[in-house]
């Protein structure tokens, strides 16, 4: 039986992983881990990225190959991993024919140059901006009301003072 390991970016290593463990690990990318690698007898397939923006690399011993896209879904990647594990070459359909040498750095995100950048929408950032705008609006409204109140008070005191004389 070949030596099979599944390792994630936190260093957790699973010897002879089950299909559900492979699926769970891939689906956790972007939610707790950054990447994972499945090794089978000196060959490997690995993935990294964010949820629904995964890229994949593989090495069969002759140099690493990169997936054609950088926006694979976790399910697509899971299918590629299972195909790789079962020695079914259909996973290669998602890869460029060329290979490249040199170690991969999965600690940073990868976007192929031919892939246009998608505009990023950060919910937390947009919510923060909206709250800041709302806060400024409320503060200005309160300030106007306060100034009007102070002016009314001063005017009232001024008139009252004039009437006493």
Please, what is the average pLDDT of the chain? 79
Q: Return the structure tokens found at 25.
A: 């690990």
- Give the percent of the chain with pLDDT over 90: 27
Residue 7, strand partner residues: 13, 37
Give the integer Cα–Cα distance in Å for 121 and 141: 30
- Per-residue pLDDT tens over the stretch 65-117: 888 888 889 999 999 999 999 988 888 887 765 544 444 544 444 444 444 55
Q: CA–CA distance from 100 to each of 59, 64, 142 (Å)?
A: 10, 6, 62
Least confident of 2-6, 67-71, 120-124, 139-143: 120-124
Place of tokens 């690493």: 64
């Amino acid at each position: 039986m070949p030596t099979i390991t599944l390792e994630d970016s936190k260093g957790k290593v699973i010897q002879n992983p089950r299909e559900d463990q492979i699926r769970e690990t891939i689906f956790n990318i972007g939610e707790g881990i950054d990447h994972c690698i499945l090794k089978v007898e000196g060959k490997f397939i690995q993935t990294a990225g964010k949820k629904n923006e995964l890229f994949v690399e593989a090495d069969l011993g002759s140099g690493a190959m990169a997936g054609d896209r950088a926006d694979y879904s976790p399910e697509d990647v899971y299918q590629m991993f299972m195909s790789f594990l079962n020695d079914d070459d259909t996973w290669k359909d998602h890869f460029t024919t060329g290979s490249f040498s040199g170690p991969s750095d999965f600690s940073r995100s990868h976007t192929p140059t031919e892939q246009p950048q998608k505009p990023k929408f950060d919910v937390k950032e947009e919510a923060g901006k909206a709250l800041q705008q709302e806060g400024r609006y409320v503060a200005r409204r309160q300030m106007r009301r306060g100034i009007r109140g102070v002016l009314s008070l001063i005017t009232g005191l001024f008139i009252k003072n004039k009437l006493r004389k």
